[in-house]
């Protein structure tokens, strides 16, 4: 125990700490994310120095992050072989906040009670250690100075002393958290492993956790093999920033005799490598194989199906981030049933550190099937004025992502086989998009496909339909119904097809709604052929007139008989072989719509 020099925290630090401690209780696990990302930053810094100074690494050549617990003393330790801090940096970095605007930010938060949850999502830095610890000891060694110990019980002050043991670290920083009595879950291997994987799976440097794993081994009756496992010193690890799996010691040396074998469960302590996944989104797409993209997708999305398509890009300009967007091979269960639940389909990282996937509708519902990784390099992460604007920042990202999704789908539409597959999984989603997304409706409309009466085509785009429209045809003819078979036999279709017109078959329940929200496209209006008046180009009016007068009596008769059932009855030229058809008025429901409404029990 050394008594060190006493230093006061800068007033802002105390205020910030109180704020964090009082408002982030529920998400206090983020302290580990903060410490690991600081460790990773520190290693980045020394690695950068080593590019110009070949001796920079010699005091501790292995670049890694190690985490272990001392259960008896309730201490959790996070160590790194990063750049470390000299005495001056220790006082400045862990006693003051260098960020400009922190004061204003604190005022804003304290007065108006801004959403503290957002701050928790976006990184709070070193002081989050006091969420879980009532005492924190930082031991640190920089190449330029002696080894120092920083110690604090939070709130007002901290002490700094030269380490009487001398240089035990070589180089780097070790942070010991003396856990609060209500935070002892952070001594548990499983809890720590879970948190490291959740937040820090893609950190560039190896993260090793000292764990005790149970293994089942065979033992013979006579001699029980000694299973001796040494705690591997971190210095033994040869490779620098290499994420290779550690060697697993073979503790199951099997005896050769044929005697009946018994098994026994033993505890095997050792260093376990946490981050085996590499963040492929940070690499150059040119060097990534499809196989790598697919593999990465399956592990990140926890999906056993191959993805259908993906796009990997870097956004520049107003916002800068890297991203991979995937379209899954299969629609997830209950795609449209989920109401107000975090969709968790978009994972936001900042410099490879996981920030959150708890977004409500980060992408609009119709794109809820995509899976995306977004990694921003310079999100206004830290507590500062910008934190209050982060919503705007996210909106910019959202806009870019939506555009990229639509581009990706448009690209996919050039590959007929894949696009057919896409439509069978997500076609309805696109229609929802055309209904809900006013801004992108035109773009989405180009991606929609419908069966039609056009020979040889069971799936046409609206634009292709338009290109085949007859001279003088002023509207896009469609009919709604329950199935292609049903509408094909409709007397309305028959009349039009006989005259050489093409009819779109809208046989999904959502189609009725679609044409309500999207009454036209490409300068043409949709016309439901089961509704209202109908006029053909070059229609032989004299002929119809003749028929009208010939059937006046019959029509009058039917009209008076069916007075309660129909609005009017008339002679029409729209049928060819069928004698008659029931038509809805322009503003009325078609038979199909009636069916849909009845099914929904309105």
Would you say 205 is a known binding-site residue? no
Q: Closer CB to Mg ion, residue 91 or residue 482?
A: 91
| CB of 442 vs Mg ion, minimal distance in Å | 44
Residues within the interface to Mg ion (CB under 5 A): 38, 125
Q: Closer CB to Mg ion, residue 203 or residue 370?
A: 203
Helix, strand, coil shares of the chain as percentages rounded to 5?
35, 20, 45
**What is the distance between the alpha carbons of residues 336 and 339, in angstroms, rounded to a whole number?**
8
- Residue in the shown chain whose Cβ atom is closest to ligand ADP: 125
Q: Closer CB to ligand ADP, residue 356 or residue 473?
A: 356
Q: Closer CB to ligand ADP, residue 83 or residue 448?
A: 83
Chosen from ligand ADP, Mg ion, none, partner binding at 42 (C-beta under 5 to 8 Å by type): ligand ADP
- 407, 311 in Cβ contact below 8 A? yes
Would you say 557 is a known binding-site residue? no
Would you say 100 is a known binding-site residue? yes
| CB of 180 vs ligand ADP, minimal distance in Å | 20
Residues within the interface to ligand ADP (CB under 6 A): 34, 38-39, 41-42, 80, 82-85, 93-94, 125-126, 173, 382
Chosen from ligand ADP, Mg ion, none, partner binding at 29 (C-beta under 5 to 8 Å by type): none
| CB of 3 vs ligand ADP, minimal distance in Å | 24
* Strands of the 133-141 sheet, one edge to the other: 5-8, 157-162, 147-152, 133-141, 172-179, 75-80, 65-70, 207-219, 262-273
Would you say 125 is a known binding-site residue? yes
Q: What angle do CA 14, 18, 21 make, to 5 degrees?
A: 135
Q: Closer CB to ligand ADP, residue 173 or residue 343?
A: 173
Q: Which helix (H) or strand (E) holds 498?
A: helix 491-498
Chosen from ligand ADP, Mg ion, none, partner binding at 20 (C-beta under 5 to 8 Å by type): none
Q: Closer CB to ligand ADP, residue 34 or residue 494?
A: 34
Neighbours of 338 (CB within 10 A): 13
Would you say 126 is a known binding-site residue? yes
Q: Closer CB to ligand ADP, residue 128 or residue 590?
A: 128
Structure tokens at 483: 């199935």
| CB of 38 vs Mg ion, minimal distance in Å | 4
Would you say 166 is a known binding-site residue? no
* Strands of the 520-521 sheet, one edge to the other: 504-506, 475-480, 524-528, 520-521
Q: Closer CB to Mg ion, residue 38 or residue 64?
A: 38
| CB of 451 vs ligand ADP, minimal distance in Å | 57
All residues at 6 or more sequence positions from 394 whose CB lies less than 8 Å from its CB, including other chains: 362
Chosen from Mg ion, ligand ADP, none, partner binding at 173 (C-beta under 5 to 8 Å by type): ligand ADP
Q: Is 366 exposed, middle or buried (0-12, 13-18, 19+ CB in 10 A)?
A: buried
| CB of 387 vs ligand ADP, minimal distance in Å | 12
Would you say 142 is a known binding-site residue? no
Q: Read off φ and ψ for residue 77, nearest 5 degrees.
A: -120, 135
Q: Which helix (H) or strand (E) holds 353?
A: strand 353-356
Would you say 231 is a known binding-site residue? no
Q: Is 253 exposed, middle or buried (0-12, 13-18, 19+ CB in 10 A)?
A: exposed
Q: What are the C-alpha distances in Å from 547 to residues 68, 499, 530, 538?
A: 95, 19, 22, 17
Q: Closer CB to ligand ADP, residue 96 or residue 559?
A: 96
Q: What angle do CA 394, 398, 402 make, to 5 degrees?
A: 175
Would you say 440 is a known binding-site residue? no
Would you say 520 is a known binding-site residue? no
Chosen from ligand ADP, Mg ion, none, partner binding at 39 (C-beta under 5 to 8 Å by type): ligand ADP
Would you say 121 is a known binding-site residue? yes
Neighbours of 17 (CB within 10 A): 22
Q: Closer CB to ligand ADP, residue 168 or residue 578?
A: 168
Nearest of 464, 496, 463, 457 to residue 478 by alpha carbon = 496
Chosen from ligand ADP, Mg ion, none, partner binding at 56 (C-beta under 5 to 8 Å by type): none
Positions of E strands within 247-332: 262-273, 309-315, 321-327
**What is the distance between the alpha carbons of residues 49 and 84, in angstroms, rounded to a whole number?**
12
| CB of 69 vs Mg ion, minimal distance in Å | 22
Would you say 34 is a known binding-site residue? yes
| CB of 140 vs ligand ADP, minimal distance in Å | 7
Would you say 276 is a known binding-site residue? no
Would you say 85 is a known binding-site residue? yes
Structure tokens at 231: 């705690």
CA of residue 360 relative to chain centroid, distance:
11
Would you say 122 is a known binding-site residue? yes
Neighbours of 221 (CB within 10 A): 11
- 400, 315 in Cβ contact below 8 A? yes
Chosen from Mg ion, ligand ADP, none, partner binding at 301 (C-beta under 5 to 8 Å by type): none
Nearest of 52, 125, 47, 58 to residue 83 by alpha carbon = 47
Neighbours of 561 (CB within 10 A): 11
Chosen from ligand ADP, Mg ion, none, partner binding at 83 (C-beta under 5 to 8 Å by type): ligand ADP
Q: Closer CB to ligand ADP, residue 44 or residue 512?
A: 44
Nearest of 197, 187, 270, 262 to residue 224 by alpha carbon = 262
Nearest of 51, 105, 19 to residue 385 by alpha carbon = 105
| CB of 124 vs ligand ADP, minimal distance in Å | 8
Chosen from Mg ion, ligand ADP, none, partner binding at 163 (C-beta under 5 to 8 Å by type): none
Chosen from ligand ADP, Mg ion, none, partner binding at 440 (C-beta under 5 to 8 Å by type): none
**What is the distance between the alpha carbons of residues 99 and 119, in angstroms, rounded to a whole number?**
15
Chosen from Mg ion, ligand ADP, none, partner binding at 93 (C-beta under 5 to 8 Å by type): ligand ADP
Please state at what angle helix 416-436 crosses helix 390-412, rounded to 10 degrees: 140
| CB of 155 vs Mg ion, minimal distance in Å | 20
Chosen from Mg ion, ligand ADP, none, partner binding at 444 (C-beta under 5 to 8 Å by type): none
Q: Closer CB to ligand ADP, residue 172 or residue 481?
A: 172
Please state at what angle helix 102-112 crosses helix 11-23, rounded to 10 degrees: 40
| CB of 430 vs ligand ADP, minimal distance in Å | 42
Instruction: Report the length, in residues, of the chain.
Output: 602
Would you say 385 is a known binding-site residue? yes
| CB of 176 vs ligand ADP, minimal distance in Å | 12
Binding annotation for ATP: 34, 38, 80, 85, 93, 99-101, 121-126, 173, 385
Binding annotation: 34, 38, 80, 85, 93, 99-101, 121-126, 173, 385
């Amino acid at each position: 125990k050394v008594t060190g020099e006493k230093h006061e925290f800068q007033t802002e630090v105390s205020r910030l700490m109180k704020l964090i401690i009082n408002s982030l209780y529920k998400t206090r696990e983020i302290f580990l994310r903060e410490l690991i990302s600081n460790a990773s930053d520190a290693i980045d810094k020394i690695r950068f120095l080593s590019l110009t100074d070949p001796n920079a690494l010699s005091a501790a050549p292995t670049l890694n992050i190690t985490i272990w617990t001392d259960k008896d003393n309730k201490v959790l330790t996070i160590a790194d072989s990063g750049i470390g801090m000299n005495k001056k940096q220790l006082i400045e970095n862990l006693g003051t906040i260098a960020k400009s605007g922190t004061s204003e930010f604190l005022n804003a938060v304290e007065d108006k009670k801004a959403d503290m949850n957002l701050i928790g999502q976006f990184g709070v830095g070193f002081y989050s250690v006091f969420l879980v610890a009532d005492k924190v000891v930082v031991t640190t060694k920089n190449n330029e100075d002696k080894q120092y110990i920083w110690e604090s019980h939070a709130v007002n002050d901290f002490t700094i002393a030269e380490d009487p043991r001398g240089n035990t670290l070589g180089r780097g920083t070790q942070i010991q958290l003396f856990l609060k009595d209500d935070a002892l879950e952070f001594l548990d291997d499983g809890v720590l492993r879970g948190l490291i994987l959740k937040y820090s799976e893609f950190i560039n440097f190896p993260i090793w956790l000292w764990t005790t794993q149970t293994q089942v081994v065979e033992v013979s009756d006579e001699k029980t093999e000694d299973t001796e496992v040494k705690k591997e010193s971190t210095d033994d690890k040869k490779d620098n920033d290499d994420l290779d799996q550690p060697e697993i010691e073979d503790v199951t040396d099997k005896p050769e005799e044929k005697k009946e074998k018994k098994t026994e469960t033993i505890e095997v302590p050792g260093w376990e490598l946490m981050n085996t996944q590499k963040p492929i989104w940070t690499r150059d797409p040119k060097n990534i194989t499809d196989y790598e993209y697919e593999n990465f997708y399956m592990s990140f999305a926890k999906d056993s199906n191959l993805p259908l398509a993906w796009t990997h890009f870097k956004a520049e300009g107003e916002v800068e981030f890297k991203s991979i967007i995937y379209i899954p091979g299969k629609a997830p269960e209950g795609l449209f049933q989920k109401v107000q639940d975090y969709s968790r389909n978009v994972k936001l990282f900042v410099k490879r550190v996981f920030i959150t996937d708890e977004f409500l509708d980060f992408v609009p519902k119709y794109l809820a099937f995509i899976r995306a990784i977004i990694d921003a390099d310079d999100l206004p992460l830290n507590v500062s004025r910008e934190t209050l604007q982060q919503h705007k920042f996210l909106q910019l990202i959202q806009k870019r992502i939506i555009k990229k999704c639509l581009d990706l789908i448009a690209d996919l539409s050039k590959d007929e086989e894949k696009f057919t597959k896409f439509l069978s999984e997500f076609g309805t989603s696109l229609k929802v998009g055309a209904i809900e997304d006013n801004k992108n409706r035109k773009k989405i409309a180009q991606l929609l496909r419908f069966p039609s009466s056009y020979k040889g085509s069971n799936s046409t785009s609206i634009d292709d339909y338009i290109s085949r429209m007859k001279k003088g045809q002023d509207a896009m003819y469609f009919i709604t119904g329950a199935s292609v078979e049903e509408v094909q036999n409709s007397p309305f279709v028959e009349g039009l097809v006989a005259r050489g017109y093409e009819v779109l078959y809208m046989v999904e329940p959502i189609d009725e709604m679609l044409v309500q929200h999207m009454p036209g496209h490409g300068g043409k209006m949709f016309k439901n052929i089961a509704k209202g008046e109908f006029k053909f180009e070059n229609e032989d009016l004299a002929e119809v007139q003749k028929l009208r007068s010939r059937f006046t009596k019959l029509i009058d008769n039917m009209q008076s008989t069916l007075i309660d059932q129909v609005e009017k009855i008339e002679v029409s030229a729209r049928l060819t072989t069928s004698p008659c058809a029931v038509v809805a008025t322009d503003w009325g429901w078609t038979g199909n719509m009636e069916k849909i409404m009845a099914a929904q029990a309105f």
